[in-house]
Amino acid sequence: MSPDLESITDTGNKISRRAQITGTANITLGGKTVIQSDVVLRGDLHRLPQRKEDGTMERTPTAISIGRYTVISSGCVLRPPGRNSGGTWRYYGMKVGDNVFVGPNTILSSASISSHVHIGASCTLGDFSIINSNVKILPGTVVPALMVVPPGVVLGGQPARVVGELGEGWGGGGNGVGGGEEAWTEGGELRELVRAIR
């Protein structure tokens, strides 16, 4: 671990010192998650706290929550989605699951991304898009706003279309067992990858 580049939080998150994070109080990381350099996390774009029925203000809601063993590569932008609702513009929370790999220079504004999703480089995921688990998104894909992606498919194109389905073997193998095999696979457990990044 080179102390200049990364810092490790209590729960084992590896966050580059050159990550560009705003509104840290509104971001939760599940642990063992990697945030590489020049990643923008817009935690300041949160839903404004509402006044509860008993007159007190609620806590500021979480803007971005990221699960365990998720890797956000350099140059990515994570920006919570927002829309006009009830006469004002509101931002909504953004959830990213476990074992998600996000390639470099990808821009995410999704409402939710489930676990075991592999997102290639230079993708754009529009506002309020929902990605179900076990999805592979090819590099350069532009997922339109409000798109709901079913589980177990391959997405590609500009705008995104389902270009294939993932078979049974998706995410299998790897896990560091079996000598010459790769330590991790797309859509599989990213524990070994997280461990290798320093």
Partner 1 sequence: MATPQPTASLRPTPPKRASTVKPILPPPPSTIHPTAVIASHAVLSGTHPITIGAHCIIHPYARIVSAEGPVELQEGVVVWEHGIIEGRGEGVRIGRGVIVESGARIEGEVGEGSLVGQGSIIGVGSVVGKHCKLAPRTILEPQTRIPDFTVVYGANNARRVDTTVRDKAETMTAREKGQQRQMDALRKLVPGNTAKWMT
Interface with partner 1 by CB under 8 A: which residues? 3-4, 7-11, 13, 15, 17, 20-22, 24-25, 27-31, 40, 42, 44-46, 48, 65, 67-68, 75, 77, 79, 82, 84, 87-91, 105, 107, 122, 124, 126, 140, 142, 157-159
DSSP conformation letters of 125-189: E-TT-EE-SS-EE-TT-EEPTT-EEPTTEEEETTTTEEEEE--TTTT-S-TT-STTS-S--TTS-
CA angle 79, 80, 85 (to 5 degrees): 135
CA 161, 168, 67, 51 torsion-angle sign: positive
CB 58 → partner 1: shortest distance, Å? 17
Using CA atoms, how far apart are residues 85 and 185, in angstroms rounded to an integer? 41
Nearer to partner 1, 13 or 132 (CB): 13
Q: Which is nearer to partner 1, 166 or 194 (CB)?
A: 194
Q: Token pair for residue 129? A: 């898009």
| Rounded distance between C-alpha atoms, residue 8 and residue 167, angstroms | 36
Q: What is the DSSP letter of 69?
A: S
CB of 24 to partner 1, least distance (A): 5
